[in-house]
Amino acid sequence: MSSPNEKNLNFQVFRCSRSSDEPKNAATAEFRRMAPSLESSMARSFWSDRPLGVKLAALVTSGAAALGIFAVITVQALNGTGETADELLASAEGTEDVLLADMMHDAVRGDVLQALVSGGQGELYEGAVADLAEHDQFFRDILAETVADDFSPEVNAAVETATPAVEAYLASAEQIVTTAASAPAAAAAAYPQFAADFAVLEEELPKLGDAVAAFGEQAAAHSEDQRGTAVTLALAVAGAGVLVLALFGWIVTRSVVRPLNKVRDVLAGLADGDLCGTTDVTSKDEVGQMAASLEASMSTMRSVMAAIGDSSTTLASATEQLSASAQDMARLADESSVQSGIVATAAGQVSTNVQTVSAGSEQMGASIREIAQNASEVARVAAQAVHAADSTTATVAKLGSPRWRSPAWSR
């Protein structure tokens, strides 16, 4: 495990900053200073930590949502257009009914005139009766259909206003045609009243036509307003969708491209031999994991390079020591060579001395042998002396016993 001094040396060698060595109080002050933006930073961190798949899914989802809203508005616009088209069609039908009513108004008068001309007899009269019945029913059906269509309150009010005049007009026509069969003169006398009813109805039917025309104009204006609203909403939704997609695209691109650019810069510096670069990428997505792996690899490389530097220094020192040792060995070899010459000379002298010693040794051996013989002789003489001493001792002992003591000695 490396000591703190070695770690400091490694960072000094590669000129790398050590943010982890900053005082804790400075970190606390920095945290307090940045406290107001903590929530926004957490939100950005949460988004940055999402995987790329989630970010792309969010982008696609936002686009799909914009398209869905655009589709809903388009469908609503189409439905409104359909309703407006129905109103326009109903307006056209109402206009047609007004025209048909005006035609029936004239047709009934024609039937009355035909009955008066026929004198109440013949096929001409019978045709007038049949036509009147048909036109009368058709006229009533037109009014009933107009009320049933319920175009607008104004149209319904106009129909209600015109209905009494229509009823009086048809009743007057029916009376004249019926009377013409039995009393043509009386029928002709009733014609002025019929003409008055015709004139009244001729004043009421244009009001019905005006009400239907107003309904048509209102339907056309509604259609134009609805079309403008649909176009405005479609453009607004399309613009909002484009802005949302652009915003999400910018966010996704920024959260991916910026870290990639930082990683690219660090890799470029690494290619130039800079092992102190840092990506400053803190996200936990794929790019953040790649950046963390790159920084871990660079940290390992810095440690390895620092160890190699230390080993190189040690190796250089050992090389210097080996060089000095080699020089010492060369000097010692020279000295050994000189000493070898001296030893060789001494060895010659020793050999001569050894030969002298050998001759002396032989002489010494002869002297030793002679000494040994003399020693044996001395031992023999000594043994004889010992024997003589023993005999002398025994004799002395005998002389000292009482038996051998003389009377003079006893005194």
> What pLDDT is stored for residue 382 in this prediction?
67
> What pLDDT is stored for residue 347 in this prediction?
56
User: How far apart are alpha carbons 58 and 288 in whole angstroms?
Assistant: 19
> What pLDDT is stored for residue 403 in this prediction?
52
Report the topology of domain 64-246.
de novo design (two linked rop proteins) (1.20.1440)
Q: Which stretches of the chain score pLDDT less than 50? A: 1-15, 18-28, 31, 35, 38, 404-411
Residue 187, number of CB atoms within 10 A of its CB: 22
User: What's CA 269's distance to the chain center, in Å?
Assistant: 26
* pLDDT tens for each residue of 345-381: 765 675 676 576 567 667 766 766 777 677 677 667 6
In which region does residue 266 sit, left (phi positive, over 0), alpha (psi from -120 to 50) or beta (all else)?
alpha
Q: Evaluate whether 266 touches 279 at the Cβ level (below 8 Å).
A: yes
- Model-level pTM greater than 0.85? no
> What pLDDT is stored for residue 78 in this prediction?
61
User: What's CA 83's distance to the chain center, in Å?
Assistant: 46
Please report, for the chain, the start and end positions of each structural domain, with discontinuous segments joined by +. Answer: 64-246
Comparing CA positions, the residue from 264, 283, 281 lying closest to residue 272 is 264
> What pLDDT is stored for residue 11 in this prediction?
43
> What pLDDT is stored for residue 130 in this prediction?
92
* pLDDT tens for each residue of 24-81: 444 445 545 554 554 555 556 666 677 767 767 777 787 788 778 867 777 776 666 6
> What pLDDT is stored for residue 23 in this prediction?
42
Comparing CA positions, the residue from 216, 211, 210 lying closest to residue 89 is 216
